[in-house]
Amino acid sequence: MAKIQAPVKIKDVLYVTFTDLTHEGKAVAKVEGYPLFVEGALPDETGEIEVTKLNKGYGFAKLIRLDQIVPERVVPPCSVYDECGGCQLQHMTYEGQLKMKYNQVRNVIDRIAKLPDVPVHPVLGMEDPWRYRNKAQVPVGMNSGHIVAGFYKKRSHDIIDMTECLIQHEQSDNIIQKVKDVCAANGVMPYDEQRHKGVLRHVMARIGYTTGEMMAVLVTRTAELPNKEAIIKGIRDAIPGITSIVQNVNPDKTNVIFGNQTRTLWGEDVIYDLIGDVKFAISARSFYQVNPVQTEVLYGKALEFAGLTGDEVVIDAYCGIGTISLFLAKKAKEVYGVEIVPQAIEDAKKNAALNGITNAQFQAGKAEEVIPAWYKQGIRPDVIVVDPPRKGCDDALLQTILEMKPKKVVYVSCNPGTLARDLRVLEDGGYKTCEVQPVDMFPQTTHVEAVAVLTL
Question: Site for ligand SAH (CB under 6 A): which residue of 38, 123, 326, 367?
Answer: 367
Minimum distance of ligand SAH from residue 318's CB (angstroms): 3
Minimum distance of ligand SAH from residue 113's CB (angstroms): 21
What separation in angstroms does the CA of 53 have from each of 6, 57, 271? 11, 12, 47
Detail the DSSP E strand segments found in 308-431. Answer: 313-317, 334-339, 360-364, 383-386, 408-413
Whether 165 is catalytic: no
Q: Tell me: is residue 272 an annotated ligand-binding position.
A: no
Count other Cβ atoms within 10 Å, centred on residue 194: 7
Strand partners, 217: 204, 246
Compute the distance between CA of residue 30 and CA of residue 26 in angstroms, rounded to an integer.
13
Residue 90 or 323: the one with the smaller Cβ distance to ligand SAH is 323
Phi first, then psi, for residue 311 (nearest 5°) are -105, 0
Q: Tell me: is residue 289 an annotated ligand-binding position.
A: yes
**Residue type for position 16:** V
Residue 235 or 423: the one with the smaller Cβ distance to ligand SAH is 423
Minimum distance of ligand SAH from residue 171's CB (angstroms): 23
Minimum distance of ligand SAH from residue 449's CB (angstroms): 10
Interaction of residue 422 with ligand SAH, rule CB under 6 A: no
Residue 6 or 328: the one with the smaller Cβ distance to ligand SAH is 328
Residue 248 or 294: the one with the smaller Cβ distance to ligand SAH is 294
Q: Tell me: is residue 387 an annotated ligand-binding position.
A: yes
What part of residues 303-342 is at the interface with ligand SAH (CB under 6 A)? Answer: 318-321, 323-324, 338-341
Contact call for residues 440 and 129 (beta carbons, < 8 A)? yes
Contact call for residues 354 and 379 (beta carbons, < 8 A)? no
Minimum distance of ligand SAH from residue 289's CB (angstroms): 5
Interaction of residue 389 with ligand SAH, rule CB under 6 A: yes
Interaction of residue 273 with ligand SAH, rule CB under 6 A: no
Compute the distance between CA of residue 437 and CA of residue 325 in angstroms, rounded to an integer.
20
Nearest residue to ligand SAH, by Cβ distance, number only = 320
Which of 454, 369, 366 lies closest to 413, judged by CA?
A: 454
Contact call for residues 204 and 134 (beta carbons, < 8 A)? no
Contact call for residues 186 and 230 (beta carbons, < 8 A)? yes
Question: Site for ligand SAH (CB under 6 A): which residue of 45, 387, 422, 449?
Answer: 387
Instruction: Give the range of 19-27, 221-229, 383-391, 416-424 binding ligand SAH by CB under 6 A.
Output: 383-391
- Which residue is catalytic, options 165, 393, 414, 434? 414
What strand order describes the sheet that includes 13-17? 13-17, 46-54, 59-68, 34-38, 27-31, 20-21
**Residue type for position 46:** T
Active site residues: 414
Binding site for ligand SAH (CB under 6 A): 287, 289, 318-321, 323-324, 338-341, 344, 366-368, 387-389, 394
- Known binding residues for S-adenosyl-L-methionine are 289, 318, 339, 387
- Known binding residues are 289, 318, 339, 387
